[in-house]
Amino acid sequence: MAALKHRRTALERVEKFLSETYFTDCNLRGRLFGDRCPPASLSCFHTSRRIPYDEAIGQEFRPAKVGDTFGPTWETCWFKVELSIPPAWAGREVHFVWESDGEGMVWRDAQPVQGLTKEGEKTSYILTSSLKGTEPHSVTLYVELACNGLFGAGKGSMIAPPDPDRRFTLSKAELVVFNRDVYELLVDLEILLDMAQLLGEENQRSFQALYTANQMLNVCDVTDPSTFPAARDLAAAIFSQRNGESQHTIHAMGHCHIDSAWLWPYEETIRKCARSWVTVVRLMECNPELTFACSQAQQFEWVRSWYPGLYAQIQDFVAKGRFIPVGGTWVEMDGNLPSGESMVRQFLQGQRFFQEQFGWICSEFWLPDTFGYSAQLPQLMRGCGIRRFLTQKLSWNLVNTFPHHTFFWEGIDGSRVLTHFPPGDSYGMHGRVEEMLKTVKNNKDKGRVNHSAFLFGFGDGGGGPTQKMLDRMKRMSDTDGLPRVQISTPDQLFSVLEKESSQLCTWVGELFLELHNGTYTTQAQIKKGNRECERILHDVEVLSTLAAARGGAFQYPASQLQRLWRLLLLNQFHDVLPGSCIQLVVEDALQYYTEIRRAGAQLQEEAVQSLCRELLQPKAGNAESTLVLNTLPWERTEVISRTGPAGTETLALVTVPSMGYAIVREPLLPPQPVAVRKQEDGSIAMENGVIAVCLDRMGHLTSLQLVGSERESVPDGCYANQFALFDDVPLYWDAWDVMDYHLETRKPVATLLKPLEITLAGGLRGSASFSLQIGKSSTLTQEIILDAMCPYLRFLTQVEWKEARKFLKVEFPVQARSTNATYEIQFGHLQRPTHWNTSWDWARFEVWAHKWLDLSEHGFGVALLNNCKYGASAHGNVLSLSLLRAPKSPDAMADIAHHQFTYAVMPHLGSFQEAGVIQHAYNLNFPLHTVPASSAQCPAWSAFSVSSPAVVLETVKQAEDRPEAVVVRLYEAHGSTVVAWLQTSLPVKEAMLCDLLERPAAQGHLPLEPRGMRLSFTPFRVLSVLLVLGH
């Protein structure tokens, strides 16, 4: 009988039929489970450690029951669950249901078999799909329960610091009969209901779906399963109505974004990987079409080490092309702060791992959740065998909507990669109709491409795909009114996009995230550890390579260096280096830096001992010589501090050749010593023949001149080296965000504790010190240092930081006018505006830089150098360096500590390129090494030099697969096209260009000429050269 239908009542009728809350005594949802039965026995023991299965099952288990609580946070409870399946359940599908607010792992026969997390919609382990008489009816399982949730244990909100005393409740543990026919009907109705609601009243398909669902309810008697097939046939008739040929195709891929550490420690991530991936393996066994894209070599390595049985199953599915390693990096690292060489090593370690373990390298870079993307990444990808890039984080932009989802991204050297942002703006989809429609509607490149990615699975804290997600998408594979949905792979998607790419647009330069720009500054000790450890590993590699190349018994410490690099790369994960992690993670990260410093110092000492052995034997009572080593690729003349015979520190001016060493007996005399004068008003003037400075009693720089040019850098009436404190209260993401409105709360620091006093009177070095009170309870002490012949003034700064939600910066107003400032990035630099004309300009009110930033007009400029800071800005004529923040979530103690750092100011004539700003910033970050030596006469020795100041020799290391070969990496730093000659005193018998994975380039052979090796560079090009040595 045809009946009138009211849209709202018809919709709500279907909703109530599916409801978990209403009418469950008579609706379909209430029939999902049949008979239930408790475990035959349940017992547990708990431990503060994360222990292996073999150790756990040998412990003493005590009786436990549903309703008990366990904890506190970060503890582990192991449960022994003995099950006895009633014989009457023969032929039925039987599940073990477990519900708790902790994360669980089911173990059976000594192997992990299923991850269980209520938050990840995984609360059952399938014991049998149809109980047979031959199957065991008595089963013993173990459940390893982590006392933390999918997102840690934040007190009150997700990103609040963890509650150390949280208790976790076991709310269900039982055997149930699972009614598969009810489940399938529920999924049918859920999809039809979503189509009816979301396709809208103007769409006839919406009414077709609604009327079909209504009719299904009419024919379905929940007490009589024999009525179900007729209802399902009605649904199948709708789902089988096909699309037209022009419909958009969605490429669905299983995914599980697991933060290597965030609101939980590294050690818990190892278990998150296992819980998530074992669930994927179970799903793959039942769903032959399922594919799963999985990034981060480090996580594969963890599972390989801790769960070898699971890893073997994963290897099988990798070989079948279903469990798909992606990304090519060691971890999903921060996209802004790691150095260029660190980024190369992320790919080198990642791609080599995937090659060794699975026999191939990744063809796409996968970084969905990082807080912005350096403009040097396209070249680094291309150099590592990657031409495709997937992310989605720019959908988080606060101010401007990014104009594309599929486009070519061009880096600062002109390298291009095909880039795709899943248009649903998420990497954690659930396979719902709403997400499919958003993917199509939101796509910014309609008419250019007709395919897009859809990553489904619970993420961030792990979890991964569920059976229900797959079952939803099976019904949407080709249904009129919805986009086509096919289970796909990254390669299939990008291959189709490449075929369709002729109309795609190009985005040039950085992919700047207009959010989370507090992460350039938060957790300053992690930032400093990263910069220092990058330097340490650079120096160890240079010195070890030179020691090995000069023959003798020295063995290059390849395996130790790999271990240290992997620790550093792990800490570059995108919630660790940015500082957006809990205190437990900060402690782990700082411990890893301590280990790199310790082991690095030992490796460096061994390399120096081997390299310079005959120079280091002090004759009796005769140790007034000093061996000085320079790990940078240009000659340096600098003031060093060395220990004299009586143990006293003395200064000396030395010249050391590029990438080499010199013995210093009689120090050089400077052409002009440093003069320091105190004026009557308490101000202090310093001059060294290169620059002349004037400082007031509060440490302000009131004058900064280049000697000989009379050019003043500080505008009249302005103070440089001005500290300013800002209120720093973001909208939600505390450790992550500094908001635009913080700029309206600026308060200059004006409380003097100790006025400026001369601490070194001049000669080779002059200095003056002062102390300020910062905020309510913090103090800052600074020594301002001018060395002989040095073109910059250094500020050695110590802060006792005890503020809450404040942001400390130092400002340098400069007498130079330009609409752009220049910032160092990985292997190069880029310009950003100094004005706020457009919303795109204004959104970059706080940006990042590496070792320097510069504001120049034609013929003159001022650079700001630093040794461990990343946050910066340049607005109008004011250069600012961001020094310290004090957020309270997710680490309530973030940055409350003693801090030491150095920055420097360098005025210059000409461009920053001509003035050597780039080299001086390296010098500040890579101090000369001094070692007491014998007084033997010894000529200075240089291993490498480069003919052009535009080219930086960044890296010297042993080749990965060839102990007799060395890899050197150079880049063009000025933004120019140039030919440079690489000269070496090492015994090179063959040279060839190679890529960043150290694979020789076709036609890459380099002739060895008297002037060295001729290398051609275009702007910001990175070149790697493989040098085969022969003795």
**Hey, which residues are catalytic here?**
369
Q: Please give the span between the terminal C-alpha atoms of the chain, in angstroms, as a whole number.
A: 97
Classified as helix, coil or strand, 392 is coil
Give the number of other CB atoms < 10 A from CB of residue 493.
27
Closest to 953 in 3D by CA, of 935, 973, 930, 925:
973
**Backbone φ/ψ region at 699: left (φ over 0), alpha (ψ -120 to 50), beta:** left
Cα separation, 394 vs 399, in Å, equals 11
**d(C-alpha 483, C-alpha 437), whole Å:** 7
Q: Is residue 646 a contact partner of residue 620, using CB atoms and an 8 Å limit?
A: no
Of 135, 138, 87, 142, the C-alpha closest to 111 is 142
Cα 440 → chain centroid: 29
Question: What burial class does residue 938 get, using C-beta atoms within 10 Å of its C-beta: 0-12 exposed, 13-18 middle, 19+ buried?
Answer: middle
Encode 766-801: b = buried (16+ Cβ within 10 Å), e = exposed. bbbbbbbebbeebbbbbbbbbbbbbbbbbbbbebeb
Of 195, 179, 197, the C-alpha closest to 11 is 197
What would the two tokens of residue 196 be? 């009816």
Q: 3-state DSSP call for residue 177?
A: strand
Residue 862 to residues 853, 911, 1001: CA-CA distances in angstroms?
A: 9, 10, 40
Pairing of strands 249-255, 292-294: parallel
Phi, psi of 486 (to 5 degrees): -125, 140
Distances (CA, A) of 195 to 206, 218, 439, 544: 6, 19, 15, 65
989's CB contacts (< 8 A; 6+ apart) are 1008, 1028, 1029, 1030
- Greatest Cα-to-Cα distance within the chain, rounded to the nearest angstrom: 113
- Which residues sit opposite 642 in a β-bridge? 650
Looking only at the bridges linking them, the beta strands covering 852-857 and 820-825 are antiparallel
CB count in 10 Å sphere of residue 505:
12
Q: Confirm if 314 and 323 have CB atoms less than 8 A apart.
A: yes
Residue partners of 830: CB distance under 8 A and separation at least 6: 375, 412, 509, 510, 822, 823
Please, is 927 exposed, middle or buried when counting C-beta atoms within 10 Å of its C-beta (0-12, 13-18, 19+)? middle
- The residue written with tokens 């150079």 in the block is 970
CA distance 786 to 705: 13
Please give the sequence-ordered ranges of beta strands (E in DSSP) within 109-167, or none if there are none: 111-116, 124-128, 138-146
Output the six-digit token pair for 501: 């790419």
Cβ atoms 905, 798 nearer than 8 A: no
DSSP 682: S
Q: Strands, DSSP E only, in 548-673?
A: 625-630, 636-643, 649-656, 660-664
Q: Is 37 helix (H, G, I), strand (E, B) or coil?
A: strand
Distance CA 213, CA 762 (A): 89
